[in-house]
Amino acid sequence: MTDTSERRVMRVLAGERLWPPPVWMMRQAGRYLPEYRQTRLSKVNFLEFCYDTDLAVEVTLQPIRRFGFDAAILFSDIFVVPDALGYPVRFEEGRGPVLEPLKASLVDALDEERAERHLDPVIETVRRLRAELPHETTLLGFCGAPWTVACYSVAGHTTQDQTAARVGAYRDPALMQSFIDRLVTASIRYLVRQLRAGADAVQIFDTWAGVLDDAGFERWSIAPTKAIVDGVRAEIPDACIIGFPKASAARIKDYVARTGVSAIGLDWTVPASLAREIQDIVPVQGNLDPMRLVAGGDALEEGVANVLATLGDGPLVFNLGHGVTPDADPENVARMIEMVRATPDPKG
């Protein structure tokens, strides 16, 4: 087994408190970096860009070279899983992912063997990254949570508060369940392959978990996530899996207890008192408001200080409460890292 004792993120995810806490950002490889924008010009189709191993490796490494983050996260997209299964997916400039509206014939046509072959370039990207990253840098893989992926399938695109997906799940829960189940199976295999190819840990992004009511959260967020966690650990018992159910503060403790995730990502809306309670249960990641990173100046300094003061006494991976946005200034990113690493340990 690979010795990960020098990888500070992995030590925290195992429950250790380190100072300064390790730092990385969700979406740290992306449009806010001029070098990314330049690399992106080489491919018109975004999914082809994700499947190009040379380009994906380069883009993943760019923020590591520039900022020296403690972790690199695989450059890919949550929609490679449905795309690999054969579900019609495309990306439109200025609109984002567009999926064919959900229907039974599309679910019936999903092909798990095709997915294995189709995702080979992504797995090769993971292998290459582990070989090229500094030994002390943690490598993170990921997938989209089935509910979040499915949200885009009902209307064919994102909608405000995912109303189309919620109505669709109420009207035809059997169809939604069938699609979710197929995504669960494919996601288990995808994450297992990432871990075996060299990822140290993986994260499950459930960006739209917070739009669900209690029953929906149980059925569409907790149950599929637990199934993925259990499925991955059936093959890799010590797999480190981070959950990120965005905008679900009131339900996070239940999510942690029921899904079995190793650690939890906190968005910026999680109250400080609740964040500390959760940190007593599992290591936490987060939770600087990404808009403070955009604003810079006093707002950024205040936000960094508050996260460190709130969560610095326990196992913390410093991160944003969601992904870095394209309008973030790289100088603010550098300043954020500098502040985290220069803040004196309150415990002396």
Q: What local confidence, expressed as pLDDT, does residue 153 receive?
A: 86
Whether residue 272 is contained in a domain is answered as no
* Length, in residues, of the chain: 348
Positions marked catalytic: 27, 31, 40, 77, 152
In this predicted structure, what is the pLDDT of residue 4? 75
pLDDT, position 98: 87
Q: What is the pLDDT of residue 295?
A: 98
306 located within any domain: no
Is residue 219 included in any domain, yes or no? Answer: yes
- Structural Rg of the chain based on CA atoms: 19
β-strands 89-92, 96-99: how paired?
Answer: antiparallel
pLDDT attached to residue 25:
98
CB 246 within 8 A of CB 228: no
The confidence score (pLDDT) of residue 160 equals: 76
Give the pLDDT confidence score for residue 44 in this predicted structure.
80
Residue 347: inside a domain: no
Inside any domain, residue 323: no
pLDDT of residue 2: 61
* Number of domains present in the structure of the chain: 1
Say if 53 falls within a structural domain.
yes
Strand positions, DSSP E, the chain? 71-73, 89-92, 96-99, 138-144, 201-206, 241-245, 263-265, 284-288, 316-320
CATH number of the domain bearing residue 27: 3.20.20.210
- pLDDT block averages, 10 residues each, the chain of length 348: 82 98 97 96 90 97 98 97 95 81 95 95 98 98 97 77 92 97 98 98 97 97 98 98 97 97 97 96 97 98 97 97 97 98 91
Report d(CA 326, CA 290) in Å as an integer: 11
- Per-residue model confidence (pLDDT) at position 157: 67
- Is residue 106 situated within a structural domain? yes
Q: What single-letter DSSP state applies at residue 21?
A: P
User: From CA 287, how far away is CA 266, in angstroms rounded?
Assistant: 5
Domain span holding position 228:
22-263
Count of beta carbons in the 10 Å neighbourhood of residue 230: 13
The reply to whether 329 falls in a domain is no
pLDDT of residue 85: 97
